[in-house]
A and B are shown apart, each in its own frame.
Chain A
Amino acid sequence: MDYFVNVTLTGLTQGMIYSAFALALVLIWRSTRIVNFAQGSMAAATTFIALALIQAGQSYWVALVVALASGFVLGAIVERVIIRPVEGGPELNAVIVTLGLFVAIQAGIAIVFGSSFQSFPTPFGVRGFEVGGTTIPLTPTSLYVIGSVLLVMALLVALFRFTRIGLAMRASAFSQEVARLLGVKVGGMLTLGWGLAAVVGSLSGLLIAGGTFVWPAYMDALIVFGFVAAIIGGLDSPVGAIVGGLILGLALSYVSGYAPRGSALVNISALVILIVVLLVRPGGLFSSTTARRA
């Protein structure tokens, strides 16, 4: 029983990170209809900024805040400088540009920070809490991971639901032309959207790095899982991204925890889950059934 709870918690924790990464993809897809393949290496870049600060003697928390802020700046700059010129052109152009950016940023990280393995700290322990003398599988680190992703998601929901700028961002995402005719400065909203998405992506990169090693390509596995999670959810739905991430996290954790030689099956399981979901619901679990008419 303990083992099952442990595997489940591991799955939820990993799933939360996949959710965050998937959410970053969905936010950009919704507003600009671009699949941002560079999200992973953008997040890796900010993790290395955090690592440099930590190695220079700063606390984890200072490094975290600076990394998230630089994620925002990086996302905004990428949209303004690199994406804006190809927006409105053939859809494939933007996708190729993000792929190129993925490779370029990864190479940039290797040039600036080196390509060796470096350990990345975690602010909390990985030993389970003690309740009444027995150790439970819930660790401070998993609590931190789940809590920080939930906090960021709650802040995003609050922004989109309850603020004027959030409404302007949603209007711009759903219908650029109508939003512009209504006086919404759509360009600024898109930049803001890319910045926020990059913050969420950066958070996932920092969380997955915690307590393990990082190297320029350390995000590659997360990129795959994040994409699978986003597509399971429907790519268009933030809720779908979160649910997709959790489903994937749990499923992969059960596979690796229970199947014989399970850890070797993790990657192929992700693919199987993706195929099954797409066969049953080709648009993803949370795809909206209403056609865009506006």
Chain B
Amino acid sequence: MAEAHGSTAVSATGGTATSTRLLEVEGLTSAYGPVRALDGVSLSAETGKITAVLGANGAGKTTLLRTISGLVRPVSGRVVLDGEDITKAPVESMVSKGMAHVPEGRGVIAELTVDENLRVGSLFRGKVGKDEFDRVYDLFPRIAERKNNAAHTLSGGERQMLVIGRALLAKPRILLLDEPSLGLAPRIVAQIFGLLRQLVDTEGLSVLLVEQNARSALSVADVGVVLNIGRVVVTDSARTLMADEDLRHAYLGF
């Protein structure tokens, strides 16, 4: 079984330069009333990598992302984005700092059209050129066809494409994705994960991916972090985690 790392994450490639740690979470504890959903979680997401946070239902994955983006205020701990402490920064300011959070359950604004959804994603940047919208539509031709339809008419896969496309229009340095595979056909999941890999490799995007679907997530990620009941069990390269049969059986369900 891979060795557990209590406080700091190791780089998948063995590098130790701190400058590559775009997002750092240190000793984060979040609670709903007396229940601790996160209990001293430390991890980091590196520039140009996909970091997957894995674990069963109730492991604290969603709370982790919600605490990072400020929707949940932590009891203790810090969130640092590119050297800046953003633990207490308002939710609204996160996109302008370069962090886009795609929440669980797709997060489309159902009453708005596809195009309006995309435009909301770029509002904070002021005027945004048409070419940037065209680029998103090129990445996701399926939603381009439905540009003027209300977003509630989209299928689950199309919704996921829309929210990822919308997040890209914010020009983020790091993308936080909460269970993008939930309820999607394996073919669509593969397509979306493939695209994420491509964006990370070609455009230097960084991704912090939260997934219950550990097998798919590890197949695309560079680094894996396993959470269990609010604590980090292990952090290691995706390949190592994939190879660790005991760990997979114990925490990842495959």
Cβ-defined contact, A183 with B93, below 8 A: yes
Complex interface: chain B residues within 8 A of A171 (CB) = 109, 112, 120, 123
Interface string of B88-117 (1 = CB under 8 A from A): 000111111000110101111111100010
A78 to B91, CA, bound (A): 24
Nearest neighbor of B120 in chain A, beta-carbon distance: A171
Contacts of B96 in A (CB 8 A): 183
Are A293 and B120 closer than 8 Å at their CB atoms?
no
Contact B109 A174 (CB under 8 A): yes
Residues of A within 8 A of B106 (CB): 293-294
A167 vs B111: C-alpha distance in the bound complex, in angstroms? 12
- Are A182 and B110 in touch, CB under 8 angstroms? no
Q: Which of the residues A164, A174, A293 comes within 8 Å of B123, measured between beta carbons?
A: A164
Near B by CB (< 8 A), chain A positions 166-209 give 167-168, 170-171, 174-175, 177-186
- A174-B110 CB under 8 A given contacts A183-B93, A183-B94, A294-B151: yes
Task: Tell whether, in the assembled complex, residue B110 and residue A294 are in contact, meaning their CB atoms are under 8 Å apart.
Answer: yes
Residues of chain A within 8 A of B170, CB atoms compared: 182-183
- A292 interface residue (CB < 8 Å to B): yes
Q: How many inter-chain contacts with C-beta < 8 Å in the A-B complex?
A: 83
Interface mask (B117-132 → A, CB under 8 Å = 1, otherwise 0): 0011101100000000
Interface size class of B (residues with CB under 8 A): 20 to 34
- Contact (A167, B119) CB under 8 Å given A180-B92, A181-B69, A183-B92: yes
Q: Is B166 an interface residue (CB 8 A)?
A: yes
Residue-wise interface mask of B (64-77) relative to A, using a CB-CB cutoff of 8 A (1 in contact, 0 not): 00000101000000
Select the residue from A164, A177, A181, A293 with max chain B CB neighbours within 10 A: A181
Known A164-B123, A167-B119, A168-B120: A181·B109 in contact at CB below 8 Å: no
Indicate if the CB atoms of B111 and A170 lie closer than 8 Å.
Answer: yes
> Are B107's CB and A178's CB within 8 A?
yes
Contact A182 B151 (CB under 8 A): no
CA of A177 to CA of B94 in the docked complex: distance in angstroms? 13
Contacts of B105 in A (CB 8 A): 293-294
Contacts of A180 in B (CB 8 A): 71, 91-92
A residues adjacent to B (C-beta < 8 A): 164, 167-168, 170-171, 174-175, 177-186, 288, 290, 292-294
Q: Which 6 A-B pairs have the closest CB atoms?
A: A183-B124, A183-B95, A294-B110, A180-B91, A171-B120, A174-B111
| Interface contacts beyond A178-B107, A179-B109, A182-B95: sample of 19 additional A-B pairs, CB < 8 Å, sorted by A | A168-B123, A170-B111, A171-B109, A171-B123, A174-B109, A175-B107, A181-B71, A181-B101, A182-B121, A182-B124, A182-B170, A183-B92, A183-B93, A183-B96, A293-B106, A293-B108, A294-B105, A294-B110, A294-B111
